[in-house]
Amino acid sequence: MHDQLASLYPAHLATLREHADHALAFGGFDHFVIAAGTPLRKFLDDQDYPFKVNPHFKHWLPLTDAPGSWIAYTPGSKPKLIFLQPRDYWHVVPQAPDGYWVEHFDVVIVRSAADAVAQLPAGNCAVIAADGDGVEANNPSTVLDYLHWHRSYKTPYELALMREASHIGARAHRAAEAAFRAGRSEFGIHLTYLAAARQTDAELPYSSIVGLNEHGAVLHYTNFDRIPPVHSRSFLIDAGASAAGYASDITRTYATPQAAEFQALIDSVDAAQQGFVAKVRAGQSYPELHIHAHHVLAGVLREHGFIRMSAESAVESGVSSAFFPHGLGHPIGLQVHDVGGFQQSERGGSIARPAGHPYLRMTRVLEPGMVVTIEPGLYFIDMLLAELREKPVSADIDWAKVDAFRQYGGIRIEDDVVCTDGTPENLTRDAFAPT
């Protein structure tokens, strides 16, 4: 892996420098300054929240734990890393940078935040930073819009790291499934996942969702019951992993052998999901793929006897949205919900979501190099079902069948998929495949 990254990194950095040159020219700036960031202090406390690096910083180099450090870049010059290695005996001090990327930077090691700021270029700078990073940030929209647009297209270096994140996540998902089948609690399954991923909660790209039985109906369930249910019937896990700051985002749903009817529904959603993945191709409108998913999932609801109306009627009347209330997916990369999903062009602008679909996180047309999640679901959510009961279309729903499935919570199946010039690359399924 190291040799592969070493061979791919120079071209990645050259791409970033080219993008920075154009972005600075658009904005009328002479220098580009990026803060790694600093930990956020807890309110009325002397402790910090876990550190999360600025995504623009980790785009340039694989450093995710260098608080107080900076990157400074001037077009035509070698980028400079100002690396903060403080005098500190309370905490682990970051080790001096090394690895395949170091030779591409002028590295300056400093001992204090003030020393780091003193190393930054003077003059007309585009400063990408947060409040509290020690320098007044301007975060110019002309620069950020350009960079966010081009972050949508992953370099081969980035794809290599995303494949690694997917392999780590798949390994941990297999361990979590085994823990579920062994009857462990949500908390126990979560601990098993962390151990298999060899990552802490703070190192994961997002808080894991580990829901047994009815808890699978809570889209962002993060409670982690400590005691296992008397009978584990179903299991939904939405959990990812990180590789040098790049994310994987994987969801799987399982049933016990006794829940054959729920397993049959999982199988139908899985088949539908793989059909949507196959459509991740250049020129495909992502909103149109989302609407297509609603029609297919409405057909699954009809096939399994939950509704008696046609798939078209289920979508038009909003019935499908009661069972599938979120978007089909989102861009992924340096951030789980990556930037640029609504952007009109490299100059900014926004493409509106289709009416009636407020939670869709991407409205662009797919192009080679983009990576998106495909995560259809079917859920039995009490609040949404109660609202559906009050509508005229309620007569076309088999409520006894719906009520029988509440005990399973819901289904979500999610893969990370690369749009290419041809057949899409499914990072997740490839990672799960036997080696």
What confidence tens digit (pLDDT) does each residue in 9-29 have?
A: 999 999 999 999 999 999 999
pLDDT value at position 161? Answer: 98
Give pLDDT tens digits for 98-146.
Answer: 999 999 999 999 999 999 999 999 999 999 999 888 899 999 999 999 9
Question: Residue 319: how many CB atoms within 10 A of its CB?
Answer: 24
Domain range 156-432, CATH architecture: Alpha-Beta Complex (3.90)
CA angle 76, 82, 85 (to 5 degrees): 165
Architecture per CATH, 2-151: 3-Layer(aba) Sandwich (3.40)
**Beta strands at 106-110 and 80-84: parallel, antiparallel or unpaired:** parallel
Q: Is 116 buried (19+), middle (13-18) or exposed (0-12) by CB count in 10 A?
A: buried
> 370, 162, 346: which is closest to 282 by C-alpha?
370
Beta bridge partners of 238: 209, 251
CA–chain centroid gap for 324, Å, is 19
Both tokens of 404, joined, read 């029988």
Q: Indicate the burial class of 401 (C-beta count within 10 angstroms; 0-12, 13-18, 19 or more).
A: middle
What is the C-alpha separation between 291 and 269, in angstroms, rounded? 15
DSSP letter at 351 equals: P
pLDDT at 435: 74
- Taking the C-alpha atoms of residue 127 and residue 59, their distance in angstroms, rounded to an integer, is 15
| pLDDT over 90 (residue 2) | no
Burial of residue 34 (CB within 10 Å: 0-12, 13-18, 19+) is buried
| Among 132, 143, 121, residue whose Cα is nearest residue 22 | 143
User: For residues 223 and 387, is the Cβ–Cβ distance under 8 A?
Assistant: no
Q: Is the Cβ–Cβ distance between 263 and 255 less than 8 Å?
A: yes
Average pLDDT (17-42) is 97
> Which secondary-structure segment (H or E) carries 106?
strand 106-110
**Phi, psi (rounded to 5 degrees) for 101:** -100, -15
- Report the alpha-carbon distance of residue 63 to residue 70 in Å, rounded: 11
Same CATH topology for 2-151 and 156-432?
no
Average pLDDT, the chain: 97
C-alpha span between 263 and 254 (Å, rounded): 7
* E strand or H helix at 373: strand 371-374
> Who's near 166: CB < 8 A, 6+ residues apart?
241, 248, 250, 416, 427, 428, 430, 431
408 and 330 Cβ atoms separated by less than 8 Å: no
**Residue 413 bridge partners (DSSP):** none
**Measured torsion, CA atoms of residues 28, 31, 32, 37, in degrees rounded to the nearest 10:** -120
Q: Which of 103, 27, 95, 14 is nearest to 60 (CA)?
A: 14
**Contact (CB, 8 A) for 59 and 334:** yes
State which H helix or E strand residue 418 sits in: strand 415-418
The pTM (predicted TM-score) of the whole model is 0.97
pLDDT of residue 6: 97
Q: What is the rounded average pLDDT of the residues 356-369? A: 96
| Tokens 């400079």, located at residue | 80
Q: Tens of pLDDT along 254-292? A: 999 999 999 999 999 999 999 999 999 999 999 999 999
User: Distance (Å, rounded) from C-alpha 126 to C-alpha 141?
Assistant: 10
Domain edges within the chain: 2-151, 156-432
Integer Cα distance of 197 and 241 in angstroms: 7
